[in-house]
Amino acid sequence: MNYLFVLLPVLWILNYLSYYAVDIYLQISYEKYFNYDDKRKNYILKNFIKTYVLKYITVWTIPLVPLVPLNIYDMTSIIQLVGCIYTCGDTIALFKVKLSKSTKIHHTITSSVNILNLFISYKNPHPVQNLLMIYTILSCYSYDVNYCLGMRFLVSKDEEKIMKVKARNVYSLLCFINWSIHLIYLILNLKNIDILVILYYLMMSLIVYDDIILLKWLTVKQ
C-alpha cells in the first residue's frame, strides 16, 4: 500500500489545523485583521499558509527541475509526495474558503489530479506526466502571488502596490516559461498527439484561464 494514502489525510488535517494557529499569529501581528469577517479571514489565512507551503516546496524541488526531462531515475515517490503537499491546501480551501468560480475549478482539478497521481508510476513517464511536473514545480515559485493575495488586506496601500508589482513580475515570467514549454511541445508533436495529450491540454486550459484572470488583476493599477 502506498504510504501516501495514509499521509494525505494527515496533511489535510494539519492544513486545516494550521488555520487556527495562523489565525492567532495574525491577531497578534496585524490590527487590521480584526476588521474582517470570518470569510475574509479564511481567505487571508488560506493564502498566507499556501505561501509558506510553496516556499518549502520551492527549496525542496530546485534539484528536481533538471532531472524531470532527463528521466534519470524513478522519482515516483518524490513526485507524489510533492503533489500531496502542494494540493492539500487547495483541497481544504474548497470546503473552508469562499473562492471565485475559476479558483474553485482550479482547486478541484489540482485536488482530483493529485488523487489520480497516487496511482501512477513515473518510472517511464508519458510526456504528459513530464509536462504536468514542470507546470506544478514552476507554479510553486509563484508564492509571492499568494502572499500578495492574502496580505494586501493587512498592509498599507503603498506596501500592497510593491507586493503586486513583485508578484506580477514573477508570475508573468513563470507563466511565460510554462506556456512556452507546453506550446513548443504541442507544435513539435502535432503528428503524434494521443487522447491523453488532448485531455491534458483541455484540462490545462482551465488552469491557464485562472492564471490569466490572476495576471489581469495583478496588472490593474490602483
DSSP structure string for 139-182:
HHTTHHHHHHHHHTTTS-HHHHHHHHHHHHHHHHHHHHHHHHHH
Inform me whether the pLDDT recorded for 102 exceeds 70: yes
Rounded CA gap, 129 and 118, in Å?
12
User: What is the Cα–Cα distance from 216 to 175, expressed in whole angstroms?
Assistant: 13
The predicted pLDDT at position 10 comes to: 96
pLDDT at position 221, please? 62
Nearest to 204 by CA among 116, 137, 132: 132
**Threshold 0.85, pTM exceeds:** yes
Q: pLDDT-derived band of residue 12, with 50, 70 and 90 as boundaries?
A: very high
pLDDT tens-digit series, residues 40-75: 999 999 999 999 999 999 888 877 777 766 666 777
Give the per-residue pLDDT at 92: 97
What percent of the chain stands above pLDDT 90? 70
C-beta separation of 93 from 185 below 8 A: no
Out of 18-32, 56-70, 93-107, 129-143, least confident range: 56-70
Stretch 146-153: mean pLDDT, rounded? 95
